[in-house]
Amino acid sequence: MDDEIRNPKNRDLTPLVFRAEGLLAEGRAAEAIAACEEALALQPDCLPAHVCMARAKLPGDDYLAHLAHFHEALRPRVYLEIGVDAGRTLSLARPPTLALGVDPTATESRSFAAQTRLFPVESNAFFGSWQAESALAGRPVDLAFVDGQHLFEQALRDFVHVERYAAPASVVLFHDCLPLTPATASRRRTTGFWSGDVWKIVPILQRLRPDLTVFLIPAYPTGLLAVTGLDPASRALEEGLDAAVAAWREKDWSGGPEDPPLPIIANTWAGVRARIRARG
């Protein structure tokens, strides 16, 4: 007890987090968020508090549900995923889709319904070698999901590569573009719940590629960014990439009015589907 008095961070946060979860279950989201903030003030790396806060801030379908919707609506001939992890999202692909998973740690750890090929390499190596050309065999990437490194410069490079193999009607999705707190949205990982600084790709794409349609679905846990209106012939982003990375690398998310506004839409599949249809 004396140690808890000297250092409040050593306090058992279970009752406080339990209270926050109870408030959320009662539909009192604002109070739940406040309780989570109280817990995080005492222990900035309290994972249950981060999870509860994310659920309170992002109600409705989570990103997995939206990914399933995209697969069902688009019926992609080719689905490309960067950052496979345990294969949970890759397994959402259904026949006759050809699913390609790129991840240096990818292993055959589960069975997949769709025809699936895993490439245990980094995305730069996949696109920079014969592997991408061979796997696609002239077919465009209809749907892509980027969830690799949690750093904005790599996410931008992944988009440059994917767009080159896409079609005008293709859709590219990004995970981790909706910051929860400044600590979880930083370049350097200090928390278990971490989205990195991938959020920076949103203002960069809006500035360098105004021809694209970019919108952010506030889906648990860290949002899902959709990019449509692709142009495989465009080199505007590639040419401006180094300058953009240099300008944005040291910027932090504060959650304040100085942060760039994000194009957040309602978390409803009907609204998402309407935007996708509007771009053909």
At 236, which CATH number? 3.40.50.150
One domain, residues 191 and 274: yes
For 227, half-sphere exposure in the C-beta direction (CA atoms, 13 angstrom radius) is 29
R_g (Cα) of the chain, nearest Å:
20
User: Do residues 165 and 240 share a domain?
Assistant: yes
User: Does residue 223 share a domain with residue 104?
Assistant: yes
**Within 10 Å of residue 247's Cβ, how many Cβ atoms?**
13
Does 191 share its domain with 52? no
Determine the average pLDDT of the residues in 146-160: 96
pTM for the structure as a whole: 0.94
N-term to C-term CA, the chain:
63
pLDDT at 280: 67
The number of folded domains in the chain is 2
Expressed as residue numbers, the domain containing 18 is 2-57
- Gap between the Cα atoms of 19 and 66, Å rounded: 30
Q: Residue 110 has what DSSP assignment? A: S
What would the pLDDT profile of 106-115 be if each residue is shown by its tens digit?
877 778 999 9
